[in-house]
Every structure is written in C-alpha cells, then in structure tokens.
C-alpha cells in the first residue's frame, strides 16, 4: 500500500512537484503537468500525452527528446481536466500543431476532446488519439471500446519519433493509428492496489488465485484462475496474445515484434526476468523475431502485484520508429547525434497559466447576487452530502469499476464550493458563481464525473445568468440544457447504466412540473423523487459504457455510483430550496 503521503487530496500534485524538481534538466513544470525543459523546435509537431496519476513512469516520466513533448497529469486514477490539458498543449506547441494522446477511458476521451476544442479556439491545430491495446476489455469486433494500458508506450513512442523526424500533424496521427492497430496487451494480477489514504485495496484476489484481464485503475479482472508458476504465467500471456493477431498477419512465424513485459507496481525486477526468459522462449518457438524488448515498470498501478505483456507487430517503418533514440527521465534508448538545442518558437509556459484573481467580473444585478448566495448554500450542501456518502459511493463503484467515484466527487465538490466562495466574495452573480464552480469541479476532479459535473454546473450558470432573478422555468431550462450537454458529451443514453439514467427523468420531470406553474420547491421535490426512483432502478441494468462495462454481470443488483450520487444531490438541494422558500 501507499504509505508515504501527506494529505491524500494533494498527493498527485506533490508527486508531480517532486518529479519536476528531480528532473530539472529534462522537464519543467507548467500548469497541469510538465513539458520538455527545452522548447519544442519551431515547426515540429508536439506530442502531448496524459492521464491520471498512479501510473508512473506514465505519463510525466515519458517527456523528453524522442518521446513526448509534454504530459498532462490528473489526480490519482483520474484524467486531467480540459483546462490542464490545454495549458500543457499550449506550452508545448511549436507551431506545427499538437497531437493529444491518452488511454481509452471515458474521462480522458471527454477531457482531451474538450481540450482540442479549446485549442482550436486558440488557433492551435490539434488531433486526439486514444490507445486501445487491452484485448481483455472488449471483443475483437469492438476494438474501439478497448482500454489503453501498457501499449501506450509503443504507440506514444511511434508517434513521437515520427514527429521528431519532421512529419506533419496528420502524418504523425497516421503513424499512431498504425502502431495502435498492431499493438495488443494482456495482464494478470495477484493483488489489488491501495490508493493514498485508503485503508483497503480497490479489489482483492483470493489466496492462491490470480485475476485475469485486469485494468490499471483498480478494475477487477474478467476472471480468476489458480496462481501459476512463472512459466505458466508466461505461457498464458503469450498464448493469449498470439491468439489474436492484427489484421494482415495470418501467423506469427517470420514476424517482428516489439515486446514489453510490464510490472504493475510490486512485482520485482528479478521476478519479471524469470517470466521474461519463458516469454522469449515461447515467442522464439512461435517464430517471432523479438526487437529490442523492454522488461520493467513502464505503466504501473501503485502497488498492484501483477504483470502485463504487450506485443507491437512491426513493419519496416514501425521498427525504425521503435528503435529510434529517446531520452526521458524514465525511458532512454540509443543516443542522439548531437545534444538537442532548446529550440525556438515555443512561448514560456508561465504565459499560459490562467488565474481568476484580478479578472474583472461580469456585472451582476442585486437580484442575481442574492441568488448567488443561495447557489453558494447549495454548493456547501452538495459538498457536505458527498462527504457523508463518499465511502458508500466508493463501495458501489468498486463492484465493477475502480472504486474512486466517492473520492473524485469529494475533490470536485470541495473545489467547486471553494471557487464559489471566492466568486461570491467578489460580488459575482449566480451565473458567474456557477461558472467558476464548474471549472473548479472539472479541474480538481478530472475523470468522467469531473467533465460531466462541470457541464452540469456551467449549463445551469448559463441559464441563470448574472442579471435576472432566477425563475422556476429558467432553472428547469438550465437542468434540461445540462441533461442535453451530458448526453452529447458522454454519448450515453437512458439504459446505459450511467448518471444519464437519473439526469434525464429528473430534467424531464422538473420541466413538466414548472410548465404547469408549480413553484420551484414543489417541482424540484417531484423531480428529486423521480431521480431517486431512477437511481434505484439502475441496479437492474447492465452497464454498456465506462469502466464497468467489461464486468457487467458483477454490477447487476448494484445501482450505478454516478446515478446514485446525482439522486443524493438532487434530494439535498431540495432541502436548501425548502429553507430558502
């Protein structure tokens, strides 16, 4: 378990601060992550990678010549927010565009997609790409739904080496697509991982058993088997991967492959070498030509005891990119012909640090300022409600997910409350208070819930504005816009076992009630009841999206954590409305 920490809430930030201090010759800190110590050469595509903390050396450890130009780092097992990704991308930009790369998780897809939109508004061309190498997380016919795990490294490296060679943005993207299509990973674990400050692991494995096909965020495996010997583990990993060859490769004989045997946190190097000797033997017997293998901790999951095997099937171009030199804090290969010049064309990152202090607030009417006080009370209540139920939410989420929903909601709601207090103290109206809270929630929570709750609060803020006193229909319109925004952003619909199963009936009931003239308090009461009913009903659904999808059967009988937290919040807000009636 993770034993050395201060406040678990700032663990990720303090780890990143220490990492940057230890590697000042290679990286420099910026808002949201790190970039190369030397600026991106003018005219070179910048490859910016990212994801949650807890996976070192991914993602910050891969920043340097021959690999990433920058890394956006989120909280523990939570994607960085769109604002943080944008900050890192702007600092890394060298004038030729940015390729944003990440593992295929809902929160990362949402936040990196939003960051790309913001970069476009800044006049910076960008592309996004999600790695999908984990064969245990979806069937071959649904490969786009697969997670990104240790295959991140060869895919990131191929794209970054292509950028280093001067390829244009769309050409670099094409390289990433080809590398990803030819990369497969599979993992096993013998124990789960424990987050900083937690007193138990996210999942457990029975004695003398192993989890098969696990995720790197504490998601349990898709099955269990008897604890193997090292040779048996190697045979399982190799046989599984050789059972699914990329399109265009009919048999492994005569093929070249980059091979990565990855330790997930607490399997020691000597153990990895014992396993690798058999991996190499089995691949050799299958006729595979191993090209520059890597054995070690490359994408970890805190203290998880487990290993994964990755094969990237190489063609001539991919082999050249795999062999290309790299010089980062955690990954080094070959050598460059000459020391890299700092480069020109990249603006110092400090110019991209966004601050709210000193920014002139939009003018607000007295009616809106009074409403802002109520909004502040609502956000205090929301944060208190989440604090009360955080452990329960984590337990529900851990049934088929990674168990961090309660922690993420705590981070987000606490940050939103803090930002709202500051904005209200400056005399902001209701709309601005909610907008500030929305950005803070998204930034601090990260992950899927951060993106979605940021969308919800921003939609409400836009509907209320800073001039008029809120009315019941206007509040209902804001909730309706929030519902539409969440569905558009996340792609989920009713029946997918997500918060949408609660948000849609809540919004529809509130809209219908206010349309008939019901006062807001009564309308909200009816809507909160509909939310509670819908949340309970998610126990009977099988998840079709998110991290719980590969473990759908396990979640049957348990409500969705996001749906349940939304219902709790809806009822708590009704209590505030009663008090302010």
- Rounded to 10°, the helix 447-464/472-490 angle is 150
Question: φ, ψ for residue 364 (rounded to 5)?
Answer: -130, 145
Q: How far is Cα 409 from Cα 389, in angstroms, rounded to an integer?
A: 10
Q: Of 69, 111, 217, 564, which residue is the catalytic one?
A: 217
Q: Are 539 and 561 in contact (CB under 8 A)?
A: no
Residues 6+ apart with CB under 8 A from 396: 405, 558, 559, 560, 561, 564
Q: How far is CA 68 from CA 35, 109, 157, 256, in A?
A: 8, 19, 8, 25
DSSP conformational letter for 68: B
Q: How far apart are the first and last CA of the chain?
A: 48
Question: φ, ψ for residue 79 (rounded to 5)?
Answer: -60, 150
Q: H or E element: which one contains 507? A: helix 500-515
Buried b (16+ CB within 10 A) or exposed e, 384-396: ebbeebbeebbeb
Measured at the CA of 302, the angle between CA 300 and CA 308, to 5 degrees, comes to 30
Q: Which of these, 564, 500, 547, lies nearest to 77 by C-alpha position?
A: 547
Give the CB-side neighbour count of residue 565, counting CA atoms within 13 A. 32
Q: Could you tell me how far CA 476 lies from the centroid of its own chain?
A: 30
Q: Are 89 and 48 in contact (CB under 8 A)?
A: yes
Tell me which residue has tokens 């960008």.
126
Q: Mapping DSSP to helix (H, G, I), strand (E, B) and coil, where does residue 54 land?
A: coil
Q: H or E element: which one contains 22? A: helix 11-22
Q: Which of these, 287, 279, 291, lies nearest to 252 by C-alpha position?
A: 287
Q: How far is Cα 529 from Cα 126, in angstroms, rounded to an integer?
A: 44
CA torsion sign for 197, 202, 207, 209 is negative
Q: How far is Cα 501 from Cα 279, in angstroms, rounded to an integer?
A: 45
CA torsion sign for 145, 146, 147, 150 is negative
Q: How far is Cα 424 from Cα 326, in angstroms, rounded to an integer?
A: 49
Q: H or E element: which one contains 375? A: helix 366-398
Q: Are 547 and 103 in contact (CB under 8 A)?
A: no
Q: H or E element: which one contains 434? A: helix 430-445
Measured at the CA of 468, the angle between CA 464 and CA 470, to 5 degrees, comes to 50
Tell me which residue has tokens 């206007």.
474
Catalytic, 217? Answer yes
Q: How far is Cα 216 from Cα 448, in angstroms, rounded to an integer?
A: 16
Q: Are 293 and 260 in contact (CB under 8 A)?
A: yes
Catalytically active residues, by annotation:
217
């Amino acid at each position: 378990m993770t034993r050395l920490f201060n406040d678990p809430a700032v663990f990720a930030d303090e780890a990143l601060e220490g990492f940057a201090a230890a590697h000042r010759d290679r990286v420099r800190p910026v808002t949201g992550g790190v970039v190369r110590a030397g600026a991106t050469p003018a005219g070179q595509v910048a490859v910016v990678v990212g994801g949650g903390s807890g996976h070192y050396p991914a993602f910050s450890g891969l920043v340097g010549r021959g690999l990433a130009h920058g890394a956006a780092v989120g909280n523990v097992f939570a994607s960085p927010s769109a604002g943080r990704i944008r900050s890192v991308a702007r600092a890394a930009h060298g004038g030729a565009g940015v390729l944003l790369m990440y593992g295929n998780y809902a929160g990362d897809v949402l936040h990196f997609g939003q960051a790309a939109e913001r970069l476009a508004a800044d006049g910076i061309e960008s592309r996004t790409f999600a790695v999908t190498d984990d064969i245990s997380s979806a069937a071959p016919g649904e490969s786009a739904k697969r997670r990104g795990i240790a295959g991140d490294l060869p895919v990131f490296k191929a794209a970054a080496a292509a950028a280093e060679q001067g390829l244009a943005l769309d050409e670099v993207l094409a390289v990433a697509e080809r590398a990803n299509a030819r990369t497969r990973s599979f993992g096993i674990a013998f124990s789960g991982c424990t987050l900083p400050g937690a007193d138990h692991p996210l999942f457990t494995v029975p004695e003398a058993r192993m989890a098969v096909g696990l995720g790197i965020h504490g998601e349990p495996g898709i099955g269990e088997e008897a604890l193997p010997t090292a040779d048996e583990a190697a045979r399982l990993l190799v046989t599984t991967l050789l059972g699914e060859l990329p399109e265009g490769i009919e048999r492994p004989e005569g093929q070249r492959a980059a091979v990565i045997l990855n330790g997930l946190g607490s399997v020691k190097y000597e153990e990895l070498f014992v396993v690798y000797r058999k991996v190499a033997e089995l691949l050799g017997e299958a006729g595979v030509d191993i090209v520059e293998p890597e054995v070690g901790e490359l994408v970890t999951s805190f203290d998880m005891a487990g290993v994964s095997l990755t094969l990237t099937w190489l063609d001539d171009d991919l082999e050249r990119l795999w062999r290309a030199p790299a010089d980062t804090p955690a990954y080094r290969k070959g050598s460059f012909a000459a020391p890299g010049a700092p480069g020109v064309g990249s603006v110092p990152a400090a110019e991209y640090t966004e601050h709210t202090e000193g920014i002139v607030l939009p003018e607000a009417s007295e009616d809106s300022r009074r409403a802002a006080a109520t909004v502040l009370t609502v956000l205090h209540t929301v944060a208190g409600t989440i604090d009360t139920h955080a452990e329960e939410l984590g337990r529900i989420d851990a049934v088929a997910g990674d168990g961090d929903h309660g922690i993420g909601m705590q981070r987000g709601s606490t940050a939103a409350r803090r930002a709202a207090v500051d904005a209200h103290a400056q005399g902001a109206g209701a709309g601005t208070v909610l907008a500030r809270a929305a950005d803070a929630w998204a930034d601090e929570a990260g992950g899927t819930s951060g993106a979605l709750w940021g969308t919800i609060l921003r939609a409400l803020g836009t509907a209320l504005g800073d001039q008029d006193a809120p009315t019941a229909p206007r509040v209902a319109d804001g909730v309706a816009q929030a519902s539409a925004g969440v569905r558009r952003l996340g792609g989920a619909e009713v029946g997918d076992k997500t918060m949408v199963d609660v948000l849609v009936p809540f919004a529809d009931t509130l809209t219908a009630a206010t349309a008939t003239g019901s006062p807001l308090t009564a309308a909200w009461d009816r809507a909160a009841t509909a939310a509670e009913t819908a949340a309970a009903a998610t126990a009977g659904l099988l998840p079709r999206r998110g991290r719980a999808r590969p473990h759908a059967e396990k979640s049957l009988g348990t409500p969705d954590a996001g749906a349940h937290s939304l219902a709790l919040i809806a009822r708590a807000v009704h209590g505030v409305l009663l008090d302010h009636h």
